[in-house]
Amino acid sequence: ENQGLGIQTVFEDALGKLLREPAKLTAAGRTDTGVHAEQMFAHFDCTQPIASPHDFCRRLNGILPPDIAIRRVFQVRDQAHARFDATRRQYKYFLHTRKDPFHRLTSCYYPYGTPLDLPAMNHACGILREYEDFQCFSKVETDVKTFLCRVEEAHWDTEPHRLVFTITADRFLRNMVRAIVGTMLEIGRGKRSPESLRGIIESHDRRQAGMSAPAQGLFLWQVEYPWEKILP
């Protein structure tokens, strides 16, 4: 977010200035306020060809604010869609266990003295991969047609003074990862057992899951596409 404006609004304004025509941006997905994206793809249409993508990228970065950076601009097929053509998405959630002002905006501080039970949390990750319906982790007011997601990977890892949760799936529901992390933290603190996750998922009830973890620790980390169908 940038001064209360959505990233899409800021980006479209910059594109319009550079292209000298209105531009509509379609991204691979939407993130809550405070959530970060290490990698994100988006597409837009323009009436004039971009002669030098490298120069266009450099000029676009010059217009955009410092908290948004463009890595590449490249042509795709007319029917390519940044959101619907994505086949896999990966998120990471960062949790630091020692107070650190440099991680304040990009990681969630875990202030409790008792260490989290990582084996229990990873046991819960294994249970997570057994299910496909994750309505219990979705925002209540949402217009999705299905709550089915195929989770391919979920695990917690340790780094010095930090824990990292990685989850990969074909799609995600609104608020899903933050709700999963919040529930996992309750398991790690011994407030729930890993096996209790089964009852939470099978309830299809958001109220049965834990509170959503803070937004600043979450990153959209990677988005994958069938590039042979996307590129010209």
Q: pLDDT tens digits for 108-149?
A: 999 887 899 999 999 999 999 999 999 999 998 777 889 999
Residues 178-187: tens digit of each pLDDT: 999 999 999 9
Q: Is the pTM of this model over 0.85?
A: yes
pLDDT at 43: 96
Provide the pLDDT for residue 231: 95
- The whole-number pLDDT of residue 144 equals 86
Whole-angstrom Cα distance, residue 178 to residue 215?
7
pLDDT digits (tens, 9 = 90+) for 39-63: 999 999 999 889 999 999 999 999 9
3-state secondary structure of 152: strand
Question: Which secondary-structure segment (H or E) carries 223?
Answer: strand 218-224
Q: Could you tell me which of 174, 187, 184 has the C-alpha nearest to residue 215?
A: 174
What are the residue numbers of the active site?
Answer: 32
The pLDDT of residue 7: 87
Long-range contacts of 125-129, Cβ-Cβ distance < 8 Å, separation of 24 or more: 125/154, 125/155, 125/156, 125/184, 126/154, 127/194, 127/195, 127/197, 127/198, 127/201, 128/154, 128/167, 128/180, 128/197, 128/201, 129/153, 129/154
Please choose, from the candidates 203, 138, 218, 213, the residue with its C-alpha nearest in 3D space to the C-alpha of residue 172. 138
Q: What is the DSSP secondary-structure string of 27-46?
A: ES----TT-EESS--EE---
pLDDT of residue 2: 39
Question: Pairing between strand 108-109 and 88-96?
Answer: parallel
CA-based torsion, 124, 214, 209, 220: positive or negative: negative
Residue 210 corresponds to which tokens in the numbers above? Answer: 């834990």
pLDDT higher than threshold 50 for residue 3:
no
**Looking at the chain, how many residues does it have?**
232
State how far the alpha carbon of 155 is from the alpha carbons of 90, 120, 124, 133, 166, in Å: 12, 11, 9, 19, 6
- Residue 33's pLDDT band, with cuts at 50, 70 and 90, is confident
pLDDT tens, position by position, 184-226? 999 999 999 999 999 999 999 999 999 999 999 999 999 999 9
Q: What percent of the chain has a predicted confidence (pLDDT) above 90?
A: 88
pLDDT of 31 reads: 80
